[in-house]
Amino acid sequence: MKVTILGNNSAIPAHGRNPSAQIVEVKDHLLLLDCGEGTQMQFIKYGIKRSKIQHICISHLHGDHYFGLIGLINSLGLLGRTDPLHIYCPEKLPAIIQLQLDACGSMMPYEIIFHTISDEGEYKLIVDTPSYSISCFPVDHRIPTHGFLVREKSSGRKIVPEACREYQIPQSYYYRLKQGEDYLRKDGTLVQNDWVTEVGKPDKVYAYCADTRYTESFAEYILGADMVYHESTYLDAENDLANMRYHSTAKQAAQLAVVAEIKQLLLGHYSSRYKNIEEFETEAKTLFVNTRATFEGMSIEL
């Protein structure tokens, strides 16, 4: 799994930083998390193939998280897309997009399938494929907002070929062994799974914590995640302002990383009042050492 940061500024483009957008690549599938203004240009700049995007997740309806969406939808149509596009979003977004399409008489050559997420806030599985899943979880912002959890599924237990040959297990059965099944031989011998397999690689988990003030209410959903992107709009000196505006500081993001026992923390969604972002990383590392302040174009592999 790989995450590429396309935009990490809050509210407006500033200091060479664009509003929120990032690509998660999972086994040759591209997922787009938020789509702020200028996202299409970032695709071109960083070599992202728009045609490979299957799922788009929109965290909430503040413009810096979705104002780039209608342009992307239109461009995909102009480029001849025929595959359906799935969009997971707040309840009001489908009507907003349809109004924009109707206003200019656009007829998309592909199907746009909206999957709305309750404004009441919910944790649920929204995408489930053999290789990955996406879940949403509520955060604490001024309007209904959700974060997203992307899980790259393990390929299962690791086959030990020598042991399989010894017990005369055909290769056609290996997939079932990887799922943890035992094997019953024709002579009635039950070959237990752990005789012929080893523990495989664990699932990889990435969490995108969209705009939120500090809260531990969703710590259980991201517990032990391999990597978490958490907004850090302000530095600690602006703690009161962050709380008032339902945002977080770099130090608060680090505090949640400690509480949730994650492995790596990414910071972003910086306020335009800050030109340089080095201090965000310095501040967060006082509580959580494995922290990185993101920059646009940055790709991080889990």
| Amino acid 155: pLDDT | 85
Q: How does pLDDT run across 203-248, given as a tens digit for each residue?
A: 999 999 999 999 999 999 999 999 999 999 999 999 999 999 999 9
- Tens of pLDDT along 96-142? 999 999 999 999 999 999 999 999 999 999 999 999 999 999 999 99
The predicted structure's pLDDT at residue 142: 97
What average pLDDT score do residues 71-100 get? 97
Query: How confident is the model over 28-41, as a mean pLDDT?
Result: 96
**Mean pLDDT across 19-31:** 96
Q: Report helix angle 69-78 to 93-103, nearest 10.
A: 50
What is the mean pLDDT of the segment spanning 18-31? 96
Q: What is the pLDDT of residue 141?
A: 98
- The pLDDT tens digits of the residues spanning 272-299 come to 999 999 999 999 999 999 999 999 999 9
Query: In the annotation, is 64 catalytic?
Result: yes
Token digits for 21? 């957008």
Residue 27's pLDDT is 87
> Torsion-angle region of residue 243: left (phi > 0), alpha (psi -120 to 50) or beta?
alpha
Domains detected in the chain = 2-153+203-301 (3.60.15.10), 158-198 (no CATH)
d(C-alpha 93, C-alpha 102), whole Å: 14
pLDDT at 251: 98
pLDDT, tens only, 154-176: 988 999 999 999 999 999 999 99
Which distant-in-sequence residues (6+ apart) come within 8 Å of 258 by Cβ? 287, 288
Q: What is the DSSP string of 120-172?
A: T---EEEEE-SSEEEEEEE---SS--EEEEEEEPP--SEE-HHHHHHTT--GG
Cα separation, 209 vs 253, in Å, equals 10
Q: What is the pLDDT of residue 252?
A: 98
Instruction: Look at residue 150 in the predicted model and tell me its pLDDT.
Output: 98
pTM score of the predicted model: 0.91
Catalytic residue among 34, 64, 119, 211: 64
Residue 280's pLDDT is what? 98
DSSP 21-45: EEEEEETTEEEEEEE-TTHHHHHHH
What burial class does residue 275 get, using C-beta atoms within 10 Å of its C-beta: 0-12 exposed, 13-18 middle, 19+ buried?
exposed
- Give the per-residue pLDDT at 302: 93
Q: What are phi and psi of 197, to 5 degrees?
A: -135, 165
* Mean pLDDT across the chain: 96
Residue 254 has pLDDT above 90, yes or no: yes
Q: What is the pLDDT of residue 50?
A: 92
CA atoms of 147 and 60, how far apart (whole Å): 9
Nearest to 150 by CA among 57, 75, 219: 57
Instruction: Count the Cβ atoms, other than its own, within 10 Å of residue 97.
Output: 18
